[in-house]
Amino acid sequence: MAKYLMGIDAGNTSTKAVIFDLEGSFIASANKSAKEYPRSAPGFEEFDVDQQWDNCVSCIRTAMVNGNVRGEDIIGIGITSFGNGLTFLGKNGENIGPCAFSIDSRATGVVQEYRRSGAADKIRDIIKCDITSCSPGPILRWFKENRREVYDKIGYVMLFKDFLAFRLTGQNVGDVNNIGGSWLLNMDTFEYSKELMDLYGIPEMYDKLPKIAYSSSDTIGTITAEAAAATGLKEGTPVAACMMDMLACQLGAGGIEPHIYTALAGTWSCNVATTEQLYIKPMVMNMPFMVKGKYQLSSNTASSASNYEWFANNLGDRAKDEAVRRGHGTSKFDVLNEMIASVGVGGTTVFYHPFLSLPSVHDAAKGNFFNLHTGTRYEELVYALAEGVAFIHRYHFEKMADAEGTPPVKCRIAGGITRSDEWSQLFADAMNLTVECAECVEAGALGCAMCAGIAAGVYKDYDDACAKVVKLRPPFHPIPEHVEILNKRYAEWKDLIETMQYYWDNKLNGKYD
């Protein structure tokens, strides 16, 4: 019988289980949206762990049914998810309350207090970047100060993918990339730090942290009898440590060579590259790579192609109606993509700032359209939004290139937008880089499956897995006349960020309260 690998990609908006053959070809998948949790206050983005586990179980079972694959045919499993946020369980592994997605910003005030007290500078010395409000340390501090009855019940501190692995294997183990990228490690030693926990103000949590797997292809446990009964997987099937979704997508897109920048256009604008040293610069983050001795350089903000989904859901009735009129499998996104092409580079004066959630440019920044007038067409808004998303990725590419001291040689893109030629070409023009897209749009799940394959002995190492599994579409090359126009528009787009600083400062300081 044929053998398969399964990658599970659990994001802020949905969970999916994807089955691949050993050559990396897609076999089947299943997807389930995260149930919307009532927002208890602005900045809260919460989830229920039991609901998320049920979603994962449903996806695993449905994917196997869809692919006519038996549990015993799957020889390895890998899991990825968003980094940061916060997942916790009680002392007996039980659900003790809602946890936090990676776009949760309730701890903004905690981070501001770290800055006022000087703790932020000491934290930076340990984690080698600026702390953010969406990371576990500040969120745990928030729970300590505001939900002490929950804080005192915590027995396990986890990251989300490691919670799913815990339910599958019974082992509380995390990987070095995800734990380090969630600012829980001393980046000089790749070990936990009691000093760091003290600076966060949560020393009680030091002993609640997961064990660390130092290679993403390490086997962290096997499917338990209980998990096998729930999912249909075979008891004893190995589960690989894997990594945060950024690195899983980078691996799944084959972008692990130095000086290839990978843009992950999803809920977050994640921009990553492989390096052999730490770079301490503003808006640049250093994370452990899949193995010791290398790092993942990144610069990110929590707004990318999710802007497109927001627009389609809230302002997309025109595109939806047109898709219904056409029929034959046309989606509202197909119609919106055509609108991007119909406007084209230089076809509008409208700009868009894609700062719908946790912006990197200013704590108080929000999404905005600029230069609207009575003649502005709907299609121009669609184009400006796509261009604004491409620009925020360029903005972060520039931060990374400034840190490294050398520009990238090419760009890989991962995420749903890789299905669109219009988006891919716009990225090539906006970046002035050749853009390569993996044929597999589920790059994160594929990256996990590759780790599972290494753990199972299918591939020798990461390079061998990339060579045997990753397949690329024809590249998109920058068009010189488009590059010239977009360079000018990008400069104006950045000027608008500077112009908004005064208002955002006042907003943050409470002038308008």
- Residue 268, pLDDT > 80, answer no
Give the pLDDT score at 143: 98
* Residue 222, beta-bridge partner list: 238
Average pLDDT of the segment spanning 276-301: 89
CB 7 within 8 A of CB 445: yes
204 has pLDDT over 80: yes
How confident is the model at residue 462, as a pLDDT?
95
The tokens describing 310, both together, are 């927001």
Q: What is the pLDDT of residue 341?
A: 96
pLDDT at 358 over 80: no
pLDDT of residue 359: 85
Q: Report residue 373: phi and psi, to 5°.
A: -150, 180
3-state secondary structure of 237: coil
Alpha-carbon distance 417 to 423, whole Å? 6
Which class would CATH give 306-437+479-508? alpha beta
293-347 pLDDT, tens per residue? 899 999 988 778 888 989 999 999 999 999 999 988 899 999 999 999 999 999 9
Distance CA 224, CA 166 (A): 10
Q: What is the pLDDT of residues 3-13, one digit of tens each?
A: 999 999 998 78
Classify strands 260-265 and 269-275 as parallel, antiparallel or unpaired.
antiparallel
Taking the C-alpha atoms of residue 46 and residue 369, their distance in angstroms, rounded to an integer, is 28
343, two tokens: 């406007």
**β-bridge pairing 154-158 and 46-47:** unpaired
Using a pLDDT cut of 70, give the percent of the chain over it: 100
Task: Give every CB contact of residue 304 below 8 A, 6+ residues apart in sequence.
Answer: 264, 265, 266, 267, 268, 269, 270, 354, 389, 392, 393, 415
pLDDT > 80? residue 125? yes
- Taking the C-alpha atoms of residue 448 and residue 116, their distance in angstroms, rounded to an integer, is 40
Q: Where are the beta strands (DSSP E) in 210-259?
A: 211-213, 219-222, 238-240
**pLDDT, tens digit, for every residue of 77-99?**
999 999 999 999 999 999 999 99
DSSP conformation letters of 89-119: EETTS---S-EE-TT--TTHHHHHHHHHHTH
For residues 449 and 6, the answer to whether their CB atoms sit within 8 Å is yes
* Amino acid at site 237: T
C-alpha span between 37 and 101 (Å, rounded): 11
Q: Is residue 1 scored above 80 in pLDDT?
A: no
Q: What is the pTM of this model?
A: 0.88
Q: How confident is the model at residue 292, as a pLDDT?
A: 78
Residue 416 pLDDT: 81
- Residue 489: the pLDDT is 98
Strand 173-175, strand 211-213: pairing = parallel
Structure tokens at 198: 């003290």
- Please name the amino acid found at residue 362: H
Phi, psi of 216 (to 5 degrees): -65, -20
Specify the pLDDT at position 267.
75
pLDDT higher than 80, residue 238: yes
Predicted pLDDT at 379: 97
Backbone angles phi, psi at 190, to 5 degrees: 60, 30
Contact 74, 63 (CB under 8 A): no
Tens digit of each residue's pLDDT (9 = 90 or more) over 398-407: 999 999 999 9
CB 71 within 8 A of CB 88: no
CA-to-CA dists, residue 238 to 167, 442, 456, 461, angstroms: 14, 21, 7, 17
Judge residue 2's burial from the number of C-beta atoms within 10 Å of its C-beta, 0-12 exposed, 13-18 middle, 19 or more buried.
Answer: exposed
> What average pLDDT does the structure give for the chain?
94
Bridge-based pairing of strands 74-81 and 4-10 is parallel
Tokens of 223: 């499917």
In this structure, which amino acid lies at residue 340? I
Tokens describing residue 437: 């897209």
Alpha-carbon distance of 81 to 459, in angstroms, equals 23
Quote the CA–CA distance of 434 and 412 in Å, as a whole number.
8
Q: Is 293 left (phi over 0), alpha (psi -120 to 50) or beta?
A: left
CA distances to 101, 132, 133, 141, 316 from 114, in Å:
21, 10, 10, 11, 41
User: Where does the chain hold its CATH 3.30.420.40 domain(s)?
Assistant: 4-243, 306-437+479-508
Which pLDDT band, with edges at 50, 70 and 90, does 146 fall under? very high
Show Cβ contacts of residue 225 under 8 Å, excluding neighbours closer than 6 positions.
Answer: 235
Given a contact cutoff of 8 angstroms between Cβ atoms, the answer to whether 284 and 400 are in contact is yes
278: Cβ–Cβ under 8 A, 6 or more apart, which residues? 128, 187, 286, 295
Q: What is the pLDDT of residues 28-44, one digit of tens each?
A: 999 998 877 888 888 89
Which amino acid, 94?
E
What tokens appear for 218 in the block?
């390490």
Which one is predicted more confidently, 197 or 508? 197
Q: Minimal CA–CA distance to 298: which of 216, 391, 445, 399? A: 399
Give 419-468 pLDDT, tens digit per residue. 899 999 999 999 999 999 999 989 999 999 999 999 999 999 999 999 99
Residue 389 in this model has a pLDDT that exceeds 90: yes
What is the 3-state composition of the chain as percent helix, strand, coil, each rounded to the nearest 5? 45, 20, 35
| Distance, C-alpha 404 to centroid of its chain | 22
CATH 2.60.120.260 fits 4-243, yes or no: no
Residue in this structure with the two tokens 């994640």, named with its chain if needed: 270
Contact 22, 1 (CB under 8 A): no
What's the pLDDT band for 183 if we cut at 50, 70, 90?
Answer: very high
